Amino acid sequence: MELPRRILIGENVIDRLGSFIEVPETARIVVASGTNVQQRVREMVASALRGRVRWVDVLSSDMKNVRSVMKASKGARCIIGLGGGKSVDVGKLAASELNLPFFSVPTSASHDGIASPFASIRDTEKHYSIKAKPPVGILADVDIIAAAPPRLFAAGCGDLVAKLTAVKDWQIGRDATGEYYGEYAASLALLGANLMVNNSKRMGKADDAAVRDLVEALISTGVAAGIAGTSRPCSGSEHLFSHALDVIAPGRGLHGEKCGIGTILAAKMQGLDWLAVRKALRNVHAPTTAAEIEVTGDEVVRALVDAAGIRPDRYTILSKKNLDVRAATALAKEAGVV
């Protein structure tokens, strides 16, 4: 198992970033970050690291940006992924390729990649997350994350609730193919998902306490993937649906938003309480319909039909149901997604 060794979550902890990463004062540090995030926190980060930073603008989560970070990291002692999903994923894969320590510094709580050993890089031959290495450290400043757009918080809740159907799919795969199933990793992933569902009204306030709960839960689910050595406890049919939409309707909807909607659909297929999932998502102001993420009903149906083919090696409820257009249409309508 490769797991984060240090985790620091709290208010105004960005000032402690320099001591947190524990590298010599003369060492060069590369920070992979988007331009919008830099406008918000560049001065604070530069001060915490005493100016020994080489900034690399991350414009997209693709191999071109990974190579840019790798090129800038020659002679560096570590790489920091500062920002949202694309900056963390790009920095994570670059550090993994160079065998450098990677530190995750999220500025929003929109996904569980802040702690997991997987990176979502869009222009690879795979339309799903690829194996990298987990961060050696995670520093999450609650004040900075709470100041992010509310939509990102809601998306994080969508990625968190997805663990309900991901774990169920893992069990379905175990029963159908005899694949490895880790009870502890599954239980850890479910802990965060159930926290969101059971406390969705309170978390819908998106205050500092809710932000901290969400960050801690997303970190723990990422750790669950590290324990399992697979993304199974965190990613199932709902993620395959999201990845299929990435292909069919690129640029529409955030990852966590699509996973949340996918969880409603997957839960209904699996016989779970999909109404409770939908209610929880609404309580945290996350989308529950295709129209809310500007996706058409036909695109949802195509994604449901195509989703199993994204990862044919991974057995889920989609493999078992083998939906055709008619069945997918009925499912989407019955679940209120279209």
Asked whether residue 1 is domain-assigned, the answer is: no
pLDDT of residue 320: 97
Angstrom CA distances, 16 to 30, 47, 48, 57, stand at 17, 10, 6, 23
Bridge partners of 6, per DSSP, are 137
C-alpha to C-alpha distance for 154 and 150, rounded to whole angstroms? 6
Are residue 70 and residue 139 in the same domain, yes or no?
Answer: yes
Are residue 155 and residue 79 in the same domain, yes or no?
Answer: no
Where does residue 3 rank: exposed (0-12), middle (13-18), buried (19+ CB within 10 A)? middle
- For residue 63, the domain's CATH number is 3.40.50.1970
pTM for the whole structure: 0.94
pLDDT of residue 269: 98
Asked whether residue 261 is domain-assigned, the answer is: yes
C-alpha to C-alpha distance for 180 and 19, rounded to whole angstroms? 39
Asked whether residue 77 is domain-assigned, the answer is: yes
**Domain closes at, from 81, 112, 146:** 146
- List per-residue pLDDT tens for the chain, 338 residues long: 788 999 999 999 999 999 999 888 788 999 999 999 998 999 999 999 987 899 999 999 999 999 999 999 999 999 999 998 899 999 999 999 999 999 999 999 998 889 999 998 877 666 667 889 899 999 999 999 999 999 999 999 999 999 999 999 999 999 999 999 999 999 999 999 999 999 999 999 999 999 999 999 999 999 999 999 999 999 999 999 999 999 999 999 999 999 999 999 999 999 999 999 999 999 999 999 999 999 999 999 999 999 999 999 999 999 999 999 999 999 999 999 99
C-alpha to C-alpha distance for 261 and 277, rounded to whole angstroms? 9
pLDDT of residue 21: 93
Strands 29-33 and 6-10: unpaired
Residue 101: CA count within 13 A, CB half-sphere: 17
pLDDT of residue 124: 65
Q: Which two tokens stand for residue 210?
A: 């809710």
Asked whether residue 238 is domain-assigned, the answer is: yes
Asked whether residue 228 is domain-assigned, the answer is: yes
Are residue 291 and residue 201 in the same domain, yes or no?
Answer: yes
R_g of the chain computed on alpha carbons: 19
Are residue 32 and residue 170 in the same domain, yes or no?
Answer: no
Determine the structural domain holding residue 186 and report its residue range.
150-334
Are residue 132 and residue 241 in the same domain, yes or no?
Answer: no
Q: Which two tokens stand for residue 334?
A: 């019955």
Asked whether residue 254 is domain-assigned, the answer is: yes
Q: Give the chain's domain count.
A: 2
- For residue 271, the domain's CATH number is 1.20.1090.10
